[in-house]
Structure 1
Amino acid sequence: MNAKWACLLLLAPLFGAEEEQDVLPTLVVDADQPNSVLPAHFAGNATVIDAETIALSGSRSVADLLAAEGGVRFTSTSGNAADGTAHLRGFGENAASRVLILVDGRPINRADMASASWLEVPIARLERVEILRGSQTARFGDHAVGGVIHLITKQPGSPHTSIEAAAGNDGTSIQRLSHQQPIGQHGLTFDFERNLTDGWRENAGHELESASLRWTTPLLPALEADFGLQWADERGGFPGPLTKDRLLADPRQSIYALYGQADQYFTEQTRWSGDATFTARRDAWTLELPISLHQRDLAWNFGPGFHTDNLLATYRLAPHLAWDTERISLHAGIEAQQDTLDLAQFAEIERIHRTSTSSLERQVFSLHAGGEAEPWDGLHLTGDFRWTRATTDARSKSLIAPKDASLNFQRGNQESNTAMQLGLRWEPTSNTATWLRYDRLYRLPSTDEIASYQGFPLTQPFNDQLRAETGRQFEIGAEWQPGAWTFRTNGFVQWLEGEILYDYHQNLNVNLADTRRAGWETFIGYQSRHWDASIQGTTLKAEFENGPYSGKEIYLVPRHELTATLTCRPIDTFTLQGEFQHVSSSYEGNDFLNTQEKLPGYNIFNLLISYQARPGLSLYCRINNLLDERYSTLKYSGLWYPAAGRQFLLGFRLER
C-alpha cells in the first residue's frame, strides 16, 4: 500500500522491492499492422505510440501527443502547438521541409515552406503513430531528411463507437465522435471533431471542424478496395513577435492587437481530400495502387496590403509491387505527384483590388526499389534505392508594378537526384539487437525557397542556381529488452552538402554551406502492472563545416533535448502520469556568427489524471506546463515568440 501511495505522489522509485510483475508488452515492431511503414527488422531508432496510449492521452492535438509521448520538439509562432513545426535530428529553421509527415502512407507535406496542420488529422481518427528518426529519403522520397512521422488512422472493423468532450481555460473546447461499423463484408468508419480555443496569447485563437469517411470493400476474391474522404475547415490568428521589454511586461499580448490591427492577421482555410487504394494479393505477391487528391483553399492575411488567396491542389499516384517470403522480401514502385498553386493578392482584406497573380507547378516523378533478406538466422540485410526527377514552373504578374522584374517573371527548372539506404540488423537473441545503417539523401528546395511569388520580393525572383541539399548519414545502435525493461541507444552523424538557408545579407535563399550534425540518442523504458516509465534524450551538435561561418553552430538547434514520463496505476481504474520536457538553449534565428543573446532553454512539466468510472467511460484531466513556466520556442533577430503558459483540460471519453 505504501508503494501505491508513493506512486500517487509520483515520488516512488521505479523499482519497488515487492511490486507484482505482471509485465505489459514492450515496444515491438509489428510488420502486420495495417498501413505500417515500420519494417519488422528496422535498422534504426523508432518510436511507436499505440491506440491505448492515444485514447488515454487527453491531448488536444496530434502535436501535443507527439511532444508528450514521442519525444518530438515543437516550435510555434502563435503559442499553439497545433500549428507548430516538428523538429527531428537537429533541424531548426524550415524543419517543416525536413520532416516527412505521412497519413496512411501518403505524404501531406506542402510544396512550400509552411508546416502541415497538426489538426488536419484529429486524434479521434488515429489508431497508431510511428516515428522513424534519421534520413529515410531512399524509402520515402523528399522531406525525409530528419525523419518520418507516420499517422495511421482507424480502419473499419468490429462495431465500435467513441464520444469525447473536453473543456479548458482560454476558451478551449473539444468534441469528438468516432464510429466503426461492419456491413456484411464491407466496413465503414466515420469521424468528426470540433476543436476550439481562444489561444493563450491575444489573437492566437484556433478553430477547427473536420470530418472523415472511410469505406472498405472486397471487389474480387483477391482484390479489395479502400476509399476515404476527408474535409476540414480551419481558422487561426497571428499574435506576432515581441521585443524583450514587451515579453517581460506581458508575454500574452499581441503586437498586432496593441496597434489595433488584429483583424488583419489571420488565416482561413478549407481542405478536401479523397483517396482510394486497390490491393490485389496472390500467394507471395501484393500489388497496391494508391491514388489521392488533396485540395486546400487558403485565405492568408498578414497585415494591411498583404492578403492572399492560395489554392493548392496535389495529385498523387503510387503503384507498388511487393514479393514476400520467409527469408526474402522485395518491393518496387513508381510515384508521380503534381502540386499546383494558384495565388491572387489583394490590397485590402475585403479583396476588392487585386495587386498580383501567380501560379506555380511542380511535378515529381520517382522510381524506387528495395528489399530485405535474412541470409542467416537473426541477421537482416536491407537496401533501398530511389531516383527522382523534379520539374518546377513559376509565373508571377504584378498589376501595380508590371515592369518590375522581381515581381514579373515566368521561369522553370529541372533537377534529378538519387538516394540510397543500406542497413544491417543483427538479432542474436529474442531480446537483443544491434544495427548499422548508411543513407545517401537529398531534399528538394521548396517552391517559395526558389521563387518570389508570395508578395515578398527576393533579390532574384526565380533562383535557377538553388539546388537540392544532398548528403550522407551513418547510424549505429543497439537495443536490449530484459523483461519489463527496454534499453536503446544509438549514435549518428549526418553531412549535408549545400544546406539551404535564408541569407538576409543577400535577401535570398541559397545553398549556404556544408553542415554536419552529430549526436547520440538514448531511450530507457520500464513497464509493469502498476508502473510505466520512460526517458529519452538527445545530445547533438550542428555546425557549419565551410563557408563564411565555418565552425559556428547552426542557429535554432539546441544541444540537448530530453523527455520523460512516469505513469502509475495504483488500481486498475486510476492512472496518474507525469511528463517532463527539457530543451537546452540555442542561438537565435539569423545569428550566423553566434554572438547574439541566446534563446534560453526551458523545462516543462505536464500532468495527466485518468479515471475509469465504469467500463467504457473514462474521465481525465490534463494540465500542460504545470508550473506555468514562461518561455519561448523561437527568437529571430531580438524578437521573441512566447509559448503558452499553464493550460488545463477536463474531459470524458465514452466507448461502446
Structure 2
Amino acid sequence: MIRKPHKLTLMTALTSLLLSNSAVAATAEETKQFDLDTVVVTATKTEKSIKDVPAAVTVITAEDMKKSNVRTLSDALRNVPGLYIKEQSGMKGTKISIRGLSQNRVLFLQDGMPLNNGYTGGPQWSGIPIDSIERVEIIRGPFSALYGSSAMGGVVNIITKEAAKPETTVTAGTGTNGTHSQTFSHNGVEGKLEYYLNYSKNDTDGYILNPANPDEGKFGSDNKQYSGKIIYHINATDKLIISKGRSEGTYQYSIKTDRGNRTNETLKVGYQAKLAPDKMLNFRFSELNFSDYWTITGKNYNTNPVKTREGEVNLNWKINPNNTLTVGVSSKVDKCDGKTYLLTNPRDISSINKLLERSGGKTTTNSIYFQDEMEFTPQTTMLVGGRYDNWKFTNGYNLAGSMQKKSENNFSPKASLLFKADASTTWYASAGKSFSSPSIFNLSRRWDVTRTLLLPNPDLKPEKANSYELGVTHKVSPNTTAKVSVFQNNVTDMIYQSFIRMLTADKQELQWKNAGKAEIKGIELELNHKFSPETSGYINYTHNNSKITANSDTTLVGKQVPTVPKDAFNIGFTYQHEKLTANLEGRYLSRTYESDNNTEPANGYGAYEPFFVVDTKFSYRFTPDTAISLEVSNLFDRQYYRETLAAGRTVFVELTQKF
C-alpha cells in the first residue's frame, strides 16, 4: 500500500527548513536577486523585468536545466507552480494543464512560433533539442488579448539561444531500461553572421506498463532531433533570423499491436528592425509540418498529417516616456487530412485492407491586437489591451460528406494594474476574457474504437473564460523572495464528449458538444531562499479547486475537472561549490481524475492516487570543458499510477565535453 504524506505537516516542515537561519546567511552583495530582474518578453511582447510584469511568471534558464534532472522539456516544466505535466504512453503525447485548463487551452511557442497541433490542438515540442534552449518563459493566466486562441490557461514560450560564442559540445549518456542519449551542438560567429547547429538522439527500451499483464508491452521509443539557426546582423539594431528543425520519433509501446511514428518539421523566418529610437518593428513567418504522423491501434492504421502556417507583424512604439503602445496583425492556417485504414496484419502497415474513415479540413484565423502600457506614476502602471480574432472552418469533410463553412468572431479584452508599494513589495491585479477554438478533430473526425463511437460536431462554438487574478511579490530579505497569486476562471461552452445512446451492451455513442461550464479557483504560493553563496532552495504550492458547474449530463455537476490535481507542491535545493553541483527536488501531486465522472478503473490499474517522488542529480566538472553527471529519478522507488504504471527508480550517467 502506498503511504500518503500529510500535506500540511510536510509543507510546514519544508518551509521551516527553507527559512532556517542555521545555514550561513549570504550578504546582499553575494546574493543574486533571484529572478526579479530577469527580462522576459512573452507577457507583454516587449522586454520587461519580471518585477514589472502584472502576471505570474516563471523563467527556467539553460543553467537551471543543467543543474536538475532535465533531459526533456517535460522534465523542465514539472516543478512550475500551477502547471501539471503527465506523460502518457506512446503517441498519446504529454498532457499539460495550467490553472485547471488543459491541452488546447494552453499555448506553446518556440521563439513566438505556435507549436500546438492544428488537428487536435494539443502542444507538440518534441522537435526541440534541450541544448538549443536558452530559457523557457511560463506566463500563467489568460493571454488571449495578446495571443488569441489556446491562451486561456497561459503561454509557454521556448526561447532558443542567441549571442553565439564559438563552441562545440558533445554529450553521451546511458542509464536504466536500456536508455541511451547522444547530443552534438556547435555554435559560431563569422563576421555579422551567428550560427547554431544541434543534434540529439535518445532511445529507451522502456519498462512494463502493467505488471498484471506484461504482454501489454513496454513504453519504448527512439527519437532524433535536428535543428539549425542563423542570425544575420544587418546593423547594430536590425537582424534577420532563420531557423529550421526536424524531429523523428518512433514508439514501441506494446508488444502486440500499438505503435506509431511522429515526424515534424519547423521553419521560421524573422526580421527585427529599429525604425526609430522609440519604434521597433517585428516580422515573423513560421511553418509547423507533421509530415509523417501515424499510429496503429488494434487493427486500425491511423494517419494524421497536419500543417500549420502562421505570420505576424507587430510594432512597439514608445509614444512618450510614460506610454508604450504595441499593435499587431497575424494570420494562421491549419490543414489536416486524416485517414483510418483496416489492416489484415496489425504488425504490417503495408497490409491495408480498406479505408474506414477520412476526415479533415482547414481553419483560418485572422487577428488584430493592441496593448497600451501607461505609467501613471513611478509606482503605478496600467496595461489595457484587446484582440479581435476572425476564425473560419472551411473545406471540412468526412466519409459522410462535405461540411458547411463556419465562422466565429471573438474579442478578448484584458486590463492589468501594477502597484509598487515600496522597494520590496509589488502588487498586481488583472481581469480578462479568453477563448479556445474547437479543433479540426472535434469538428470533423468520426472516431470508432473498441467501446466508443465518438461523433464530430461541425456546429461547435469556441470555449470561453472570464478570468481574474490578484498577486503580490515581496522581498522578505536580501536572500528571500515570496510570491502569492490568487486566481479564478469561469469557463463556459466547455467542449465535452456527451452521451447519445448505447449501441450495444458494451459500446456507447458519444458526440462533442458545448455542454459544460466550470469554475476554477486557486492559489499559488512561492518561496525562494538563498542560504549561502553556495546553497539555495525553493518551495511552491498550488491549490486548485476546479469544479464542473453545469453539464448536459447533470450527474457530472460538482465533479472535479479531469486532469487537474487539487493540490501540488514542489521543493528543491541546489548546492554549488567549485567543481561540484548537487541538486535535490521533490514533488507531490494529489489525486487526479481522467474521467468526467471522477471514477477509477478497477484493480488499481490506471488509478491516479496521490504520490510524492524525489529526484537528485550530482555533477562534477573536472575542467572548464569536461564534466560528468549522475541522475537518479524516483530516488525512493515509489510505485504509483498515472494512467499506467510510472517508471520506478532510474539512473542515468552522462559525460559532457566542450571544444
Quick check: 1:55 aligned with 2:66?
Answer: yes
- Number of the residue aligned with 1:87: 97
1:205 aligned residue (206, 220, 224):
220
C-alpha distance in 1 between matches for 2:18 and 2:648: 28
Q: Which amino acid aligns with 1:133?
A: R
1:192-212, Cα deviation, whole Å (9 max, x unpaired): 111111122333111111111
Counterpart Cα distance in 2 of 1:337 and 1:393: 13
For 1:605, the equivalent position in structure 2 comes to 614
| Cross-structure match for 1:294 | 288
Matches within 5 A, 1:199-348: 199-201=206-208, 202-219=217-234, 223-239=238-254, 257=255, 261=256, 264-281=257-274, 282-324=276-318, 326-348=321-343
Find the aligned partners of 2:43 and 2:597 in 1 and give their Cα distance.
42
Counterpart check, 1:112 vs 2:119: yes
The percent identity for this pair of structures is: 20
Question: In the alignment, is residue 24 of structure 1 matched against residue 39 of structure 2?
Answer: no
1:171 partnered with 2:171:
no
1:497-516 equivalence runs, <5 A: 497-505=492-500, 507-516=510-519
2:441 to 417, 440, 448: 448
1:539-550 → structure 2 map (5 Å cutoff)? 539-547=543-551, 548=554, 549-550=556-557
Matched, 1:101 2:108: yes
* CA shift for structure 1 position 278: 1.4
Q: 1:350 corresponds to which letter in structure 2?
A: S
Cα deviation for residue 51 of structure 1 reads: 2.4
Answer yes or no: is the 8 Å Cα contact 2:497–2:510 preserved in 1.
yes
Q: 1:626 aligns with which of 631, 635, 645?
A: 635
SS state at 1:52 partner: helix
- CA gap of 1:595–1:152, structure 2 versus 1, over 3 A, is closer
Is this contact kept in 2: 1:71–1:562, CA < 8 A? no
Structure 2 partner of 1:526:
529
Give the letter aligned to residue 545 of structure 1. T
How far apart, CA to CA, are the structure 2 residues paired with 1:602 and 1:70? 17
- Asked whether the 8 Å contact 1:366–1:386 carries over to 2, the reply is yes
1:340-379 matched pairs, under 5 angstroms: 340-348=335-343, 349-350=349-350, 352-355=352-355, 356-379=357-380
* Distance 1:36-1:470 versus aligned 2 partners, 3 A rule: closer
Amino acid at match of 2:586: F
1:189 to 192, 196, 212: 196
Task: Give the structure 1 partner of residue 573 of structure 2.
Answer: 566
Tell me how far 1:236 sits from its aligned partner: 1.6
Shift of residue 187, structure 1, vs aligned partner: 0.9
3-state SS in 1 of match to 2:139: strand
Letter in 1 for 2:290: R
How far apart, in 2, do the equivalents of 1:13 and 1:433 lie? 21
CA contact 1:61–1:118 (8 Å) conserved in 2? no
- Name the structure 2 match of 1:7: none
Q: How does 1:368-517 map to 2 (within 5 A)?
A: 368-398=369-399, 405=400, 408-453=401-446, 462-481=456-475, 482-505=477-500, 507-517=510-520
CA distance 1:208–1:586, change in 2 (3 Å): closer
Distance 1:652 1:369, change over 3 A: same
User: 2:119, 2:306 within 8 Å by CA — same for their partners in 1?
Assistant: no
TM-score after normalising by structure 2: 0.86
Counterpart of 1:586 in structure 2 is 592
* 1:46–1:133 CA contact under 8 A, matched in 2: yes
**Is the contact made by 1:431 and 1:480 (CA closer than 8 Å) also made in structure 2?**
yes
SS at match of 1:566: strand
Q: Give per-residue Cα distances to partners, 1:590-640, cap 9 Å, x unaligned.
A: 316899997311111111111122212221111111111111223xxxxxx
Q: In 1, distance between residues paired with 2:290 and 2:566?
A: 36
1:416-435 per-residue CA deviation (whole Å, 9 max, x = no partner) reads: 11111110111133332110
- The alpha carbon displacement at 1:55 in A equals 2.7
Shift of 1:462: 4.4
The residue matched to 2:403 in structure 1 has which SS?
strand
Q: Which secondary structure state, in structure 1, belongs to the residue aligned with residue 386 of structure 2?
A: strand
Any stretches of 5+ residues in structure 2 without a counterpart?
1-15, 209-216, 344-348, 501-508
CA contact (8 A) 2:81 2:540 kept: no
SS at match of 1:60: coil
CA distance in 2, matches of 1:593, 1:267: 29
Instruction: State which drifts further: 287-296 or 49-58.
Output: 49-58
CA deviations on 1:207-266 (whole Å, 9 max, x unpaired) are: 111111111113467642111111121112334xxxxxxxxxxxxxxxxx3xxx2xx311
Q: Which amino acid aligns with 2:269?
A: A
Q: How far apart, CA to CA, are the structure 2 residues paired with 1:453 and 1:588?
A: 22
Structure with the largest fraction of strand: 2
The alpha-carbon distance between structure 1 residues 44 and 397, as it changes in their structure 2 partners (threshold 3 A), is closer
CA contact (8 A) 1:306 1:455 kept: no
Query: Partner amino acid for 1:84?
Result: T
SS in structure 1 at match of 2:470: strand
Work out the CA distance in 1 between the residues paired with 2:428 and 2:181: 42
- Please say if residues 271 and 296 of structure 1, whose CA atoms lie closer than 8 Å, have aligned partners that are also in contact: yes
* Cα distance in structure 2, aligned partners of 1:583 and 1:17: 29
Question: 1:649, CA displacement in angstroms?
Answer: 1.0
Residues 331 and 225 (structure 1), Cα distance of their counterparts in 2 relative to 1, 3 Å cut: same
CA contact (8 A) 1:156 1:180 kept: no
| SS of aligned partner of 1:546 | strand
AA aligned to 1:580 is G
What is the aligned partner in structure 1 of residue 540 from structure 2?
536
Q: Which residue of 2 aligns with 1:651?
A: 654
Cα distance between partner residues in 2 of 1:156 and 1:221: 13
Return 5+ residue gaps in structure 1 as ranges: 1-9, 240-256, 399-404, 635-640
Q: Supply the AA of the counterpart residue of 1:572.
A: E
